[in-house]
A and B are shown apart, each in its own frame.
Chain A
């Protein structure tokens, strides 16, 4: 099974003809992903990487039956591209673009509220179900099929954890990067719920960062709703304090907004917290076996 993307997913790439999109679409196809087309406004009718290019997402969906989209368009155009994918009925939208204005994402989330779709990102390396489907920019070769779900805010820290797992013989069911932006499509809870319901996932590694209540909310949700064990880490223990936004940031954040405070709370809520990022794999190995 896996979560959100699997070997039957039919993927289109919005912005396919761009340089990064081209590189990563080729890499994904070489690693088993079914990409069925691309969308670049004004280039409809062209063929790129042997794939049909369409002017609009609607046309692409009608012609190819796509149900997943990877968004590689530049940040100023990304909000519009996400809404276009939502309107066309795409079920899983992966937003690679990094640098989308926060208020654009606030509007996107409002638009998505009454539509049944999962938005992953923005500012994410993407999502990968090893050897079945990759929508993103991560190096496929570090991932191996397995039974552990990985969810993280950071991209490179996701790679770090995965490599530590692989070195100890643990593979991944699906690895999801939810992205590092303050307003993002999918939060930790949504991904944990999907992993809990997935019969091919036995345990979860959750990697967070300073800022925001998401990790603690997820730990609280897990305590009430999850039967599978969760190993957690929060980056930023050594990050400088005081880079905050006026008083309102502190009011919103409350007291639990340092990495250590978050990890303490997560531990109280039953997450197996690892304090040294170099030992994520080792801790997971010990807890899960």
Chain B
């Protein structure tokens, strides 16, 4: 689960990490008031959306006067900001963060992440802060410092000093950076984060370190013990179909093809999409109905897949282990009765109670296109699509 930059900064401030003084604003007047209250002569206006690369899309502006603060706020709020990570449609900006501008001497990169290779929390830091850190990691890997944290001990001071020295900090900045790293680690651990990134971590106003931008993402499986984070969830930043799917216990991701997919298990769902692609088709979505799918759940899966107007055919691929083919079949028949489904449906059933499931479909009177196995299913999908278009 992701949160906005202004929320991340509030959270980090609570852990003692210095951030620029600033506040979120929802409209132009609000923005002007905030700018006056925090004072100074220069402000930064930052669009608040859950996507990176905002600077490249015009979502970060320096204002030299209150009028400019108003101007940029007016430009951003209500607009769709397009960044390299949003796709062409962009993301609706509903609020901006107004912050005091500061003089930047040097920009660093600092992040905590759970590294799949070491299976531990790992600190990543670099003297090359700013926007293109991935490129630095590829072209100049020794400029990226890593330090693995022992979960039984936590991040130690000496490790932080080592990192600070390696990225070129000197004198009292080393202690300052170490305090920030330990605070970031505490926040990461307490709040079950998967990622915490400060980029840039900047040396500002004659020698103090400050988090100028920050991004955090949290473990969806731990939300039950994170009341503070759960409240920060912004459903406007998520695809409504995906939110609805989550509410029904389904895992759905919209894609841009025309073959709707209803599958159980994430791995088989991906493999089903791969098999369709291998036959020259394009999946319209990823959808995992999960284990123990009831007929109602199957009905909801159809409803969500069919909200996508691009869907021309649906492939149902179920390999039941903990699931039961007869329940899935009942859900299919029920969906056909209750919903206006005018696209062809290819069905492949296997595993627990497969005989019962096939019998229910055969007795229903609906024209399901039955497939024997995964390859047969993908072949039939493509053949049916071709018939339709000719």
Contact = CB atoms under 8 A, between A and B. Distances in A.
Q: Do these two chains interact?
A: yes
B386 interface: no
Interface stretch (A41-49, A84-92, A234-242): A234-242
Interface in A23-76: 24, 75-76
Given A156-B321, A277-B275, A106 B111 contact: no
A76 B221 CA distance: 9
B221 A213 contact: no
30 contacts: A101-B192, A101-B221, A101-B222, A103-B121, A106-B119, A107-B151, A107-B152, A109-B119, A109-B151, A110-B151, A111-B152, A137-B291, A139-B351, A152-B267, A156-B267, A159-B351, A160-B271, A164-B373, A167-B373, A213-B117, A217-B117, A237-B277, A238-B270, A247-B134, A247-B199, A250-B134, A251-B137, A252-B124, A277-B271, A278-B374
A180 B374 CA distance: 21
B113 interface: yes
Nearest to A243: B253
A18 interface: no
Contact of A235 (B114, B270, B375): B270
Contacts of A153: 267
A117 interface: no
A125 B265 CA distance: 10
Contact of A100 (B221, B273, B276, B373): B221
A223 interface: no
B283 A238 contact: yes
Contacts of B85: 242
Contacts of B350: 142, 159-160, 163
Given A139-B351, A210-B270, A154 B373 contact: no
Interface string B217-257: 10101101100000000000000000000000000010100
B34 to A, nearest CB: 27
B4 interface: no
Interface of B: 52, 85, 109, 111-117, 119-122, 124, 133-134, 137-138, 144, 150-152, 189, 192, 194-195, 197, 199, 215, 217, 219, 221-222, 224-225, 253, 255, 263-268, 270-278, 283, 286, 291-292, 319-322, 350-352, 373-375, 378
A142 B351 contact: yes
B350 to A, nearest CB: 6
Interface in A150-177: 152-160, 163-164, 167
Nearest to A152: B267
Interface of A: 20, 24, 75-76, 98-107, 109-111, 125, 137-139, 142, 152-160, 163-164, 167, 180, 182-183, 207, 209-214, 217, 233, 235-240, 242-243, 245-252, 254-255, 259, 275-279
Contacts of B291: 98, 137
Contacts of B114: 102-103, 106, 182-183
A125 B266 CA distance: 12
B116 A155 contact: no
B272 to A, nearest CB: 8
B276 A251 contact: no
A245 B266 contact: no
A22 to B, nearest CB: 13
B113 A252 contact: yes
Given A160-B271, A183-B114, A235-B267, A248 B222 contact: no
B321 A137 contact: yes
B319 A154 contact: no
A71 B215 CA distance: 35
B117 A103 contact: no
Contact of B133 (A159, A251, A278): A251
A240 B113 contact: no
B375 A279 contact: yes
Contacts of A154: 265-268, 270-271
A277 B274 contact: yes
Contacts of B151: 103, 106-107, 109-110
A102 B151 CA distance: 12
A160 B268 contact: yes
Contacts of B352: 139
- Most B Cβ at <10 Å: residue of A214, A217, A277: A277
A135 to B, nearest CB: 14
Contact of B219 (A101, A167, A236, A254): A101
Contact of A248 (B113, B263, B286): B113
Contact of B253 (A105, A157, A240): A240
B219 A209 contact: no
Given A157-B267, A182-B116, A276-B275, 9 more contacts: A125-B321, A137-B291, A209-B267, A236-B270, A245-B217, A251-B133, A259-B274, A276-B274, A278-B278
Given A100-B221, A245-B217, A252 B116 contact: yes
A155 B321 CA distance: 9
Given A159-B319, A245-B217, A277-B275, A239 B137 contact: no
A239 B116 contact: no
Contact of A159 (B192, B255, B321): B321
A174 to B, nearest CB: 17
A154 B321 CA distance: 12
B271 A75 contact: no
Contact of B375 (A237, A247, A252, A278): A278
